[in-house]
Copies of this chain bind each other. A is one copy, B any other.
């Protein structure tokens, strides 16, 4: 017999497409719906409010459907109390565990709403402490331990709606569709505005980068941005750091002679020798202190005391001694670096972009820049609904961004 539940959702439901996505989810999960109430925003700019009764074949299907549409901001009208279950096995959630969204989330326990500390998608909610000390934290599957209390089912949970893209806002310009046919200079200027605003408000700017940053010749512009304070944290892999260091030590990066533009294809042994040099020094920071590494992006980060988290991948040579070879340890280090971040830009990497999107709250503005449209699309498809994409040349993009943000940058070069 069919079971049902009533949900509500508020916001610019029609023009944002949010309601359309909720109804689409319901059908795709095999459920059904009746619209109980629809208070439309009568004037443009007014939010709408809609109440829908959702039904499914059985309770398990219903619970999962409710979790699903909660990723769009649809909350139960009468969510009741959250239900919890005790973890029986390290690293394994109870069967009916509530799978989190990256939206701001509250959980109703003992009659009051508790704000979840650190929203992140595809995790569980662990309830710790009691009474006034009670708190709810997001815990990834791998870190859950036996005897922890975990929220199960979909009752007692409310999420804030996804970031709304307001007209005239910093991101008003970037429609959800990804295109290389946009006025690029305008986009650069608006990303610069977003970074400036983040810094003015005391936030940190997080960069996520791939080796293309170095290959496209953007390292000098990137160094200028680090010097000027627009790079607080860098998430990357072994490749970006290696090619940057290789370029500093040998003037090449995977075989591209960056001054003349002559290509040394593959470059073969330069990069492995660069890694060996840093391993000998002990770490990137040690190599800077010993005067071995004297230029490039990594040098600039060390010089200014900025943070970087390098996480390895199966294709890595070496790797550099600073690289987390265990990806779970790497994820933990990335999570630990997030507090204070209020703007994120992802450049020329699909792997690290998706990894960062996975752990980033939906409330942090996020721009993804790549010459390949597929990289940009993939991020949004993986649930980072706040992601805005720019399909452009990474080298020229960073060059122009530096010209916007760093006084006198490029004036002598031009």
Q: Which residues of A contact B (CB under 8 A)?
A: 14-17, 19-20, 23-24, 26-29, 32-35, 38, 40-44, 64, 67-68, 71, 89, 91-93, 95, 97, 99, 121-122, 140-142, 167, 172-175, 177, 180-188, 190, 212, 215-217, 237, 254-266, 268-269, 271-273, 275-276, 279-280, 311-319, 321, 325-331, 334, 351-352, 354-355, 358, 371-374, 381-383, 391-393, 395-397, 399-400, 403-404, 410, 413-414
Contact = CB atoms under 8 A, between A and B. Distances in A.
Contacts of A312: 314, 327-328
A118 to B, nearest CB: 16
Contacts of A261: 173-174, 182-183, 186-187, 190
Given A122-B317, A268-B71, A276 B182 contact: no
A260 B351 contact: no
A313 to B, nearest CB: 5
A34 B122 CA distance: 39
Nearest to A26: B44
Contact of A185 (B68, B121, B383, B399): B399
B393 A276 contact: no
Contacts of A188: 396
Contact of A393 (B33, B266, B393): B393
Nearest to A358: B315
Contact of A318 (B141, B334, B352): B141
Ranked nearest first, the 4 interchain pairs of A and B with the lowest CB-CB distance are A183-B217, A173-B261, A396-B396, A181-B215
A95 B363 CA distance: 48
Contacts of A330: 314
A403 B396 contact: no
A217 B15 contact: no
A54 to B, nearest CB: 10
Given A28-B263, A32-B43, A404-B414, 11 more contacts: A38-B40, A141-B317, A177-B263, A181-B256, A183-B395, A186-B259, A237-B314, A312-B314, A313-B313, A325-B329, A393-B397
A17 B404 CA distance: 37
Contact of A269 (B23, B92, B99, B272): B99
A280 B217 contact: no
A191 to B, nearest CB: 11
Contacts of A328: 312, 319, 325
A181 B265 CA distance: 11
A317 B329 CA distance: 13
B280 A92 contact: yes
Contacts of A26: 44
A28 B250 CA distance: 13
Contacts of A91: 279, 321
